[in-house]
Structure 1
Amino acid sequence: MSREIHQLRSGAADWYSGVLDAATEALPRSIDDARQLLAPIAGEVWMGSLTLHGAATAGTDTDTRTSRRVSDRTRAEVFRRDGFLCTYCGGRTIPRCILVAISDVFPDDFPYHAHYRRGTVHPAYWALAPEADHVLAHAAGGTSDAANLTTLHAMCNTRKSSLAADSLPVVGERPAPHRAWDGLLSRYAEIVAIGELTGRRHASAGYHSSWLRRFGQKAV
């Protein structure tokens, strides 16, 4: 049974990342235990909207919209460099490919749709999925290499777009790497393997293997 979420709670990134951290840690031992740990956020679907340039956006695939000029390999490099932390709010991120792997294992509890169709995507995708955003905008001559990119949550990047430039934090002042947080990257291959055995695929056959290579990980 789905639960409609119209507004992200305060501290959403910490809340969702904490639940997913606990659930994925338990997953190799027991899918049932992992599902119980996922229960506090199970079945949630995003029905809200965020402000983008003064307009409302509800179901946009922001990862594609904002990063279409940045290669996937560069995005992976940026996320790792920034310690899988959002440089806007300082919160923890989990790459979308890893979130998709969790959805593969728990398709009903942690729903996902590749085109972000309204009412079919868990709000954690907005709260946690990172984007590689241009520090100097592409339209203003900024390049798409790693030096001009910074890690932002999807929700932070969307909200940031509606603010005056002088009200934004300096993205060059990136948070120090958080040694205890790796965006669940160290568990990614195992989550994928479990999803392939027991779950439901949400992406093409080579999707996860490609992202594992970009992050320098080996399949289980």
Structure 2
Amino acid sequence: MEKIDVIEQAANRLLQHNVAEARIAIETGYPFHKMTAQGRNYTDKEKMAQFVRDGFIDRYSGQKLVNPGILKVLSYYMPETFPYHAHWKMEECHNAYWEFVPTVDHIYPVALGGADSMDNWATTSMLHNSIKSNWTLEQLNWKLYDAGDFDKYDGLTGLFTKLVEADKKLLSDSYIKRWYRLSVAVASK
């Protein structure tokens, strides 16, 4: 029986003032499963490794993403034109941060019992991560796109490191400094 049919059956039982049969319909046809969520535990180094593994491709849309540091460089030089907000408040932060900065998402949500492991991680934009939330790909009718090839598209990581090396004052920004160090570590491999 389809889930929607179970809901309809339970609602019809309620219409007949039969709460007990409605409860049985739900418990047998579409039961609630309480999950104990695992923690989410990955370092910036692990995130960068995931972005490289996925070739800076949003695995939920197929869109190209960028090294997080490059957008902050734009904000450093053009704070009014390309604003940054530490908490990414939408009314105070350029949309590019939401659209192009990668993050790690759990393909099968941790809140539903998914593992917090590399096998369950995918690179996605902050925008798609917030839309996906704790839903499965099936629930959203999304698919998992193939990973990209970091050797063909590096998420502008090479350009980011060149910008920082051309102006070492950028390293006074802790966000830029963190992603620069991670980017250099990736480039040295």
Does 1:106 pair with 2:78?
Answer: yes
Match of 1:168 among 141, 154, 168: 141
1:208: Cα distance to partner? Answer: 4.0
Tell me which residue corresponds to 2:130.
158
Q: Tell whether the 8 Å contact from 1:107 to 1:200 is kept in structure 2 after alignment.
A: no
Q: Tell whether the 8 Å contact from 1:78 to 1:151 is kept in structure 2 after alignment.
A: yes
Does 1:128 pair with 2:128?
Answer: no
Does 1:69 pair with 2:16?
Answer: no
Q: In the superposition, relative to structure 1, how do residues 115 and 217 fare at CA in structure 2: closer, same or farther (>3 Å)?
A: farther
- The code of the aligned residue for 1:119 comes to E
Q: In the superposition, relative to structure 1, how do residues 142 and 162 fare at CA in structure 2: closer, same or farther (>3 Å)?
A: closer
Gaps of 5+ in 1: 1-66
Identity of aligned residues (%): 26
Match of 2:174, SS state, is: coil
How far apart, CA to CA, are the structure 1 residues paired with 2:163 and 2:150?
A: 22
1:155: Cα distance to partner? Answer: 1.0
1:122: Cα distance to partner? Answer: 0.9
Match of 2:154, SS state, is: coil
Match of 1:109, SS state, is: coil
Tell me which residue corresponds to 1:51.
none
- The code of the aligned residue for 1:112 comes to Y
How far apart, CA to CA, are the structure 2 residues paired with 1:117 and 1:78?
A: 25
Compute the RMSD of aligned alpha carbons: 3.1
Tell me which residue corresponds to 1:21.
none
Tell me which residue corresponds to 2:186.
215
Specify the structure having the higher radius of gyration (Cα).
Answer: 2
Tell me which residue corresponds to 2:24.
none
- State the TM-score, normalized to the length of structure 2: 0.64
Q: In the superposition, relative to structure 1, how do residues 69 and 214 fare at CA in structure 2: closer, same or farther (>3 Å)?
A: farther
Q: In the superposition, relative to structure 1, how do residues 205 and 144 fare at CA in structure 2: closer, same or farther (>3 Å)?
A: same
- State the TM-score, normalized to the length of structure 1: 0.56
Structure with the largest fraction of strand? 1
Q: In the superposition, relative to structure 1, how do residues 82 and 192 fare at CA in structure 2: closer, same or farther (>3 Å)?
A: same
Q: Tell whether the 8 Å contact from 1:114 to 1:203 is kept in structure 2 after alignment.
A: no
Q: Tell whether the 8 Å contact from 1:127 to 1:154 is kept in structure 2 after alignment.
A: yes
Q: Single out whichever of 209-218 and 184-193 deviates more from structure 2.
A: 209-218
Cα deviation digits, residues 4-50 of structure 1 (max 9, x gap): xxxxxxxxxxxxxxxxxxxxxxxxxxxxxxxxxxxxxxxxxxxxxxx
Match of 1:100, SS state, is: helix
Q: In the superposition, relative to structure 1, how do residues 209 and 184 fare at CA in structure 2: closer, same or farther (>3 Å)?
A: closer
Q: Tell whether the 8 Å contact from 1:79 to 1:151 is kept in structure 2 after alignment.
A: yes
1:114: Cα distance to partner? Answer: 1.7
Q: Tell whether the 8 Å contact from 2:53 to 2:147 is kept in structure 1 after alignment.
A: no
How far apart, CA to CA, are the structure 2 residues paired with 1:167 and 1:129?
A: 22
Tell me which residue corresponds to 2:114.
142
- The code of the aligned residue for 1:132 comes to V
Structure with the largest fraction of helix? 2
Match of 1:89 among 44, 61, 79: 61
Gaps of 5+ in 2: 1-38
